[in-house]
Amino acid sequence: MNEQATLLSDKINAILSGAGSLLPELLLAVFFLLLIILDLFKSKSIKQLLPWLALTALFSTLVIQILGGYTSGNEAFLNLLLSDGLARFGGILFSATGIFTILLSLQHKPLEKLTEGKGEYYGLILILVLGLNLMAKSVNLLMVFLSIETVSIASYILTLILKDNRRSIEAGIKYILYGSLSAGVMVYGMSFCYGFTGTLNYTSEGFALALSQANGLLVTVAAILVFAGFFFKISAVPFHFWVPEVYRGAPMAVVALFSTGPKMAGILVILRFVAPFSDSLAFSDVQLFLGIAALATLVIGNLTALWQKTPRRLMAFSSVSHAGFLLAALLAFGTDYTSGILFYLTVLLFMNFGIFLFLQISEDELGVEELEHFSGLGKVYPYLGVIALLYLLSLTGLPPLAGFMGKLLIFTNIWEAYTLYNSPMLLALLGVGVLLTGVALFYYIKIPYYLFFKRNLREENLVISLSNKLLLAFFVLPLLVLFFKPDLLLNWIEQVLAQ
Amino acid sequence: MNDFILSGLIFSPLLAALVLLLIPNRLQQPIRVVALSGTVVQLILAILLYFRFDGAAFANGHTGYQFVEKLNWIGFSLGSLGRLQIDYFVGVDGISIGLVLLTGIIGVIGVISSWTITKTVKGYFLLYLLLMTSVMGCFLALDFFLFYLFFEFMLLPMYFLIGIWGGPKREYAAIKFFIYTLVGSLFILVVMIGLYTSVIDPVATAAYLELLPNGVASQEAVLQVQQMLQQNVISGSELVRTFNIPAMMEPANYIPGSLLHVLSGSVLWDLPLRFIAFLLLFAGFAIKVPSVPVHTWLPDAHVEAPTPISVLLAAILLKVGGYGLIRIVYPIFPDAGAYFSILVGGLGVLSIIYGALCALAMNDLKKLIAYSSVSHMGFVLLGLASLTVEGVNGAVYMMFSHGIISAMLFLVVGVIYDRSHNRMILNFRGLASRMPAYTSFVVIAFFASLGLPGFSGFISELMVLLGGFSAPDVTGMLPRWMTVVAVVGLLLSAAYYLWALQRMFFGKYWIFPELREKANIADLTTREYLMLVPLAILTLLFGIFPHLLLDKMGVAVTGFTELVLQNGQEQLNMVLSTIIR
């Protein structure tokens, strides 16, 4: 009895001492509750306040994580969470994602006019960011599952937030179905891992040791099953079927959020998850599987994007192809690929939010539903057109924009890994990755093609609000700066990782 | 010595572009004047550079660059791979000096030719000036990354210039151009990544290892670092990887065990990886040259582009391809260059013959000239593949001379198109009687292009052929029949030019009835004289006094051939020996 009491108090102490490292997450949770409570008031002025409260929360977590220093070392929260440099950098990205999502939402009239559930909407963004933070920090399979589910549930509701939009409902239902399927498969795989190793803590030595002794085939199967859940989050093939539906139906801000936040967190989780397999017999199989998945995602994403007629679906498959690219980046084992990947994720964040803001403006103000509707708009709104062009070039990976630098770093790592291991898979990834950049140009350039080459069919000349213009410039600026001075970010990433 | 003249050359058009941004759209005339002044400044700087450039200065491929500017631009840690260093590194040598001058000249001619553009003038000249900056940057960059940046940055302005201001099928032509060249540049990108991960900057590494006593780079320190590198005593994290093109030319700077090291023994599909890298780079630049069979974008782009853009495209953009081969591909992979000389020379001859045959079959005057470009650029490949001093001199001279002549040819086509909105050869007859001055410029342009003695085209073709014929004996590179076949190309080019001349300009005046109403067949205007006269003088000047350029480039070209031949043979033996083992 007494023993149990000391055990309990030990655990409570451990939790309390680790609580400091959860400062950003706690802050988000508190603000979430605050938002929900305030949402109960009918007063209009309070409703107006809600997005700004959410912004405050995210902004403070952003600042806290940029400053760092709130953690006492790498303390693991009862071996569930690890607050290292990777998680901290992830947290910075996620907070920024949340802020950008709210900024985009504020520019979207239907969301602004939302009378019911405004608090829920902004609260759920906070919860989603909280879940992303936990994903990046998790070092325990169960914790991984819980945080992924937190993100998923928040995502389902965010998809459905505009209830009167029929597409929104269809998208939400499909999303939930695919999501629960892949979650189930993932848990099944995790149970295998637990069976092999007797521990859920996948960064522990015991986990890697037990895996190295287990049957290679079964370990491969278990790993593949677990990857199902991760792939769903990062929208990799074959778990990408929800992507076009959701991108078609959800509000643009939410789409932008999905194209960045969960993808970034998923990549960080995979980054942690593959490490213990490096000693196991199954390693080459896992590598092969990831390689095939990366190739398939790259090819399917890019080639399907070629046939799309609406900007939303085009961006959906572009997002799939970026997932493939990130997976390929993960395969450069043996090199210091983490900072390259983090650089790419940062760039992805800015260019995706930029392009989705552009699409939101085109859709809301100019009524663009299909690619053809862009015809001639670049001549009427040159500012809009030129900035859109910059985003698209960055997405393609052309200089002088940071997308090029990101690709360059990742290709460098793959080449270096090929030098080390001479694996044909890496060569294939390099070749396919580079060639598909040419394909990517072909579909991205469609938008500027309509913007500048085609004749404008409509007469009206609308004014694009100053706030939209400023936001557009805000997202493009880092892309230019990070091309000419990538070392600014890379050196900082290095510092954060070395924490 | 260093007064940043090269930066001035690169960025003067960009500066003018920034000024343009401040001018409102409707003030068309000021916009044109600003664009003109931007290119005129560039031309003046290019002429100054030409006179100040010391052609006799020692050059051996690694060194000998003049007016060098080198600034640290990007540097970051690659973790266990050491550091990465990207420099703003520009310089000029005998190979680039002619092309710099050419770019200056054509830039001004192009603006004068663009004077009649009325559709969104500001956008047009913005893109035009961007293009001039990136072309000039390509010719002056000595850092691969910088080169690649400028190389890629040529695509976008060109895409819009063709796609917005072009002819009826402009959209198709613009996309085809963009995709072709982008794929080419992706090939280059792959090799660039492979190169910079394999090559160190010995000076920067010495500085990093604190081997430089007073922080001054010395030859001993460089040698010491290179020895240490080859003995594998420097750990990976202490290496400074670089995009520095001269550093890439020295085998001693390659990290042992890296895939592109001469002794790496790495193979892919039974070919040494260095050979594959050469082929990729060659493919990338061959698209730009363009060489048969990757030339098909060129006729489309030329036909659809507005006249000034055709001029730029033919006169300077194509030269970037040939220049890349000489500046980058051959000096960095001399072994593969020697190994594949038959392939390169063969494609050159194929381009000469095939281009000429296509030109012979064309009814559209602009297409005829586009194919004649393909044919003439084949001589660049042939001269380069011979690796003789004459051949390479001829290749470089050809790039300059073709720049001047093709500009003239496309301007001449522009003149008839402006007047009749048509350029089908069979729609016109006897133009000489109505447009005598125009006809005389056409004759000059055609004769210069087909290689009549006295014009610059003759000098370059002669040198290429001399190089080609002596190659089997001097360098052992090309079989003699290739050069013999190339001579047939000369005959063909005489045929298509003279035939076109005869059909369009001589005989009794007649034009196609439907054209008669719209057409206003008048002789040259002052603006057109302003463009054609200087070009005609230049082609004569450089045809009669070839030493004007040869003196400037001779030492550099000799250095280039020595470097490629010597290193090439040595490295080829090393590469092949590791494979057999």
Residue A340 lies in a domain: yes
Q: What number of C-beta contacts closer than 8 Å exist between A and B?
A: 90
Is A486's Cβ below 8 Å from some Cβ in B? yes
Is A406's Cβ below 8 Å from some Cβ in B? no
- Cα–Cα separations (whole angstroms), residue B549 to A355, B142, B405, B462: 50, 22, 16, 15
Q: How many domains does chain A have?
A: 2
Give B276-290 as a DSSP string.
HHHHHHHHHHHHHTT
SS3 B83: strand
Residue A57 lies in a domain: yes
Do A215 and A303 lie in one domain? The reply is: no
Domain spans of chain B?
340-544
Do A38 and A187 lie in one domain? The reply is: yes
Cα nearest neighbour of B260 on chain A = A419
Sign of CA dihedral B313, B317, B319, B325: negative
Task: Tell me the per-residue pLDDT of A119-166, one tens digit each, with 9 for 90 and over.
Answer: 888 989 999 999 999 999 888 888 899 999 999 989 888 888 776 667
Task: Tell me the per-residue pLDDT of B197-245, one tens digit each, with 9 for 90 and over.
Answer: 888 887 777 777 777 766 666 777 777 777 777 777 777 777 888 888 8
SS3 A138: strand
Mean pLDDT, chain A, as a whole number? Answer: 85
Residue A150 lies in a domain: yes
Confidence of residue B147 (pLDDT cuts 50, 70, 90): very high
CB-closest option in A339, A438, A490 to B179: A438
Is A394's Cβ below 8 Å from some Cβ in B? no
State whether B163 and A411 contact (CB < 8 Å): no
Is B77's Cβ below 8 Å from some Cβ in A? yes
Pairwise CA distance, residues B142 & B73, whole Å: 13
Confidence of residue B573 (pLDDT cuts 50, 70, 90): confident
- Residue B182 to chain A, least CA–CA distance (Å): 6
CB-closest option in B76, B120, B186 to A437: B186
Which residues on chain A are in Cβ contact (under 8 Å) with B80?
335-336
pLDDT of residue A71: 65
Residue A7 lies in a domain: no
Pairwise CA distance, residues B436 & B524, whole Å: 9
Do A186 and A225 lie in one domain? The reply is: yes
- Residue B264 to chain A, least CA–CA distance (Å): 10
Task: Tell me the per-residue pLDDT of A272-310, one tens digit each, with 9 for 90 and over.
Answer: 888 777 766 677 778 888 889 999 999 999 999 888 889
CB-closest option in A430, A438, A486 to B183: A438
The number of residues making up chain B comes to 581
Confidence of residue B59 (pLDDT cuts 50, 70, 90): low
pLDDT of residue B73: 85
- Residue B280 to chain A, least CA–CA distance (Å): 11
Do A451 and A318 lie in one domain? The reply is: yes
Q: What is the ipTM of this complex?
A: 0.85
Rounded to a whole number of angstroms, the CA Rg of chain A reads: 22
Q: Kind and range of the H or E element at A405? A: helix A402-421
State whether B170 and A487 contact (CB < 8 Å): no
Residue A423 lies in a domain: yes
Nearest to A157 by CA among A110, A104, A119: A119
Packing angle of the helix pair A141-159, A166-197 (nearest 10 deg): 180
Which residues on chain A are in Cβ contact (under 8 Å) with B178?
441, 445
Nearest to A418 by CA among A291, A249, A252: A291
Do A248 and A344 lie in one domain? The reply is: no
Do A313 and A251 lie in one domain? The reply is: no
CB-closest option in A398, A427, A484 to B152: A398
Cα nearest neighbour of B176 on chain A = A442
Among A71-80, B46-55, B146-155, name the one with the lowest average pLDDT: A71-80
Do A264 and A286 lie in one domain? The reply is: no
Do A131 and A102 lie in one domain? The reply is: yes
Interface of B with A in 141-180 (CB under 8 A): 148-149, 152-153, 155-156, 159-160, 163-164, 170-171, 174-175, 178-179
pLDDT of residue B63: 67
Eight-state DSSP code of residue B258: S
Do A326 and A458 lie in one domain? The reply is: yes
Which residues on chain A are in Cβ contact (under 8 Å) with B186?
434-435, 437-438
Distance of CA B309 to the CA centre of its chain: 16
Which residues constitute the domain of residue A383?
Answer: 282-499
Is B14's Cβ below 8 Å from some Cβ in A? no
CB-closest option in B76, B163, B196 to A491: B76
For B435, list phi and psi in degrees, rounded to 5: -130, 70
Residue A275 lies in a domain: no
- Residue A33 to chain B, least CA–CA distance (Å): 43
Which residues on chain A are in Cβ contact (under 8 Å) with B148?
399
Q: What is the 3-state secondary structure (H, E, C) of B114-175?
A: HHHCCCCHHHHHHHHHHHHHHHHHHHHECEHHHHHHHHHHCHHHHHHHHHHHCCCCHHHHHH
The predicted model scores a pTM of 0.89
Distance of CA A331 to the CA centre of its chain: 18
- pLDDT, mean of residues B176-200: 88
Is A375's Cβ below 8 Å from some Cβ in B? no
pLDDT of residue A322: 92
Cα nearest neighbour of B183 on chain A = A438
Do A317 and A415 lie in one domain? The reply is: yes
CB-closest option in A419, A437, A442 to B258: A419
Residue A211 lies in a domain: yes
Task: Tell me the per-residue pLDDT of B421-473, one tens digit each, with 9 for 90 and over.
Answer: 888 888 888 888 888 888 899 999 999 998 888 888 888 899 999 888 888 88
- pLDDT, mean of residues B133-155: 91
SS3 A431: helix
Task: Tell me the per-residue pLDDT of A54-103, one tens digit each, with 9 for 90 and over.
Answer: 999 999 999 988 887 766 555 566 778 888 888 889 999 999 999 999 99
Is A418's Cβ below 8 Å from some Cβ in B? yes
Give the residue from A306, A341, A391, A412 with the most B CB atoms within 10 Å of its CB, the best one to mutate.
A412
Interface of B with A in 78-137 (CB under 8 A): 78-81, 120, 123
Which residues on chain A are in Cβ contact (under 8 Å) with B155?
398
Do A334 and A365 lie in one domain? The reply is: yes
Is A339's Cβ below 8 Å from some Cβ in B? yes
Q: Give the end of a domain, one of A232, A248, A269.
A: A269
Do A241 and A299 lie in one domain? The reply is: no
CB-closest option in B73, B80, B190 to A430: B190
Site of tokens 């001469």: B262
